[in-house]
Amino acid sequence: MIARPDPRYPDPKILRNEVNSMCDSLMEILLESIPEDAIAGIYFKGSGHKEWESPLDYVPEISDVDIHLLFSDDQSVERYLGTTEQAIEIQKKLEKRYLEKVAEPYHFPRPQLMVLNLLLQEKDFVSSPKNTISVLFGGEYPVSDCSNHERIMRIDCNHLLEEEEFILRFPLHIIDKPSKYLWQSLRNLVWHISPIGARVLSIMGMAYEKAWSMNRTRIIAHLKEVGEQKLAQDYTQFYLDCWKYFLSRYRDTDVGRSAIIAGIKALLRGVERAKLGVKSCNHTF
C-alpha cells in the first residue's frame, strides 16, 4: 500500500456512511425544492464515489462529494437556482437534513453541486466514465463520446497547460492567508490538484476510461510505473498532509502549508509533462 493503515485514521465505513448521508440529504432537498418534472437527473461521482484503498482516496472535508444536477430544460437553471435567496434556502435545508441523519458526524462532507446543463455547454467538457457515476434520481447520465483518443489527450494537455497561469498568481494569493485563513487557500488549490494524476496518465497514452476510472491509490502506482516517481511523491504528500491538517482540526497550519507546497510541486510537474506534448503520446499501457 502507498499509505499504511494508521490508528489516527477513522474507520472508512464511518466516512462512507457520512458521505452517503450527504448525498441522500442533497438529493432529498433538491427534490423538495424543485418540481420533479423539472429535474432530468441527479448523479453522484468523484473520489467520494470511488473505491477507497488507502487514505489517499478520500480526505474528509478536503475531497469533494460531487453531485451533478441535470434540469429537463436549460431555462430551469435560472428559474429554480437563479437567486441568492433560493440558493441559501437549499443550503440551509441541506445542513439541517444532514445533521438529522448524522447527529454527531465525524466530519461534514463537503458537497459540490454542479449544474450539468451548464457543463454540457462547455466546448471541451468530457464526462467521467459511466462506471464512476451513480444515478441518484432520474435518467442515465449523458456520457461524452470519448472514442477520439487524440482529442481527449489534447483536452487534458490543454487543461494542464492552463494551470501555469494559476501557479504564477498563487504566491500573491497565499501570502496574506495566515492562521485560519490558510484553509481558503487550500480549498482554492484542491480542485486544481485532484485531476493531475489522471491527466498526466492520459497525455502519456493511457485510455480515458482507465485513467479517469481509477482511484488515487492506483493512479499513483501507475505514475511510478511510467517513471513519474517525483510527481507520485508530491501527489501523495499533498493528500497525506491534507489528512494531517484535517486530523489537527485545522490547527496545525505548518502541515497545511506543507500540503500547499506539495500540491504546487505536483501541479508544476503536470505543466512540465503537458509541455512535452506529443513526445509522450505514443506511450502504451
Task: Specify the number of domains making up the chain.
Answer: 2
The arithmetic mean of pLDDT across residues 9-19, rounded, is 95
Q: Grid coordinates representing 57?
A: 482516496
Q: Over 60: is that where the pLDDT of 151 sits?
A: yes
Q: Over 90: is that where the pLDDT of 215 sits?
A: yes
Q: What is the CATH number of the domain that holds 53?
A: 3.30.460
Boundary of a domain, candidates 138, 172, 191:
138
How sure is the predictor about 278, in pLDDT bands with cuts at 50, 70 and 90?
very low
What does the radius of gyration of the chain's CA atoms come to, in whole angstroms?
A: 19
The gap from C-alpha 276 to its chain's centroid, in whole angstroms, comes to 25
Q: Which residues pair with 68 in a beta bridge?
A: 43, 114
**One domain for residues 127 and 163:** no
**One domain for residues 133 and 230:** no
Least confident of 16-20, 121-125, 148-152, 281-285: 281-285
**One domain for residues 26 and 134:** yes
**One domain for residues 106 and 25:** yes
The arithmetic mean of pLDDT across residues 217-226, rounded, is 97
**One domain for residues 134 and 238:** no
User: What tens digit of pLDDT does each residue of 90-120 get?
Assistant: 999 999 999 999 999 999 999 999 999 999 9
pLDDT at 81: 97
User: What percentage of the chain carries pLDDT values higher than 70?
Assistant: 95
User: What tens digit of pLDDT does each residue of 158-214 get?
Assistant: 999 999 999 999 999 999 999 999 999 999 999 999 999 999 999 999 999 999 999
**One domain for residues 65 and 123:** yes
**One domain for residues 58 and 178:** no
Asked if residue 3 is part of any domain, the answer here is no
User: What tens digit of pLDDT does each residue of 60-85 get?
Assistant: 999 999 999 999 999 999 999 999 99
User: What tens digit of pLDDT does each residue of 122-139 get?
Assistant: 988 999 899 999 999 999
How sure is the predictor about 5, in pLDDT bands with cuts at 50, 70 and 90?
low
Q: 271: domain range?
A: 149-280
Tell me the pLDDT of the chain averaged across its residues. 93
Name the pairing type of β-strands 64-71 and 39-45.
antiparallel
Please identify which residue in the block is written with the cell numbers 432537498: 29
Asked if residue 143 is part of any domain, the answer here is no
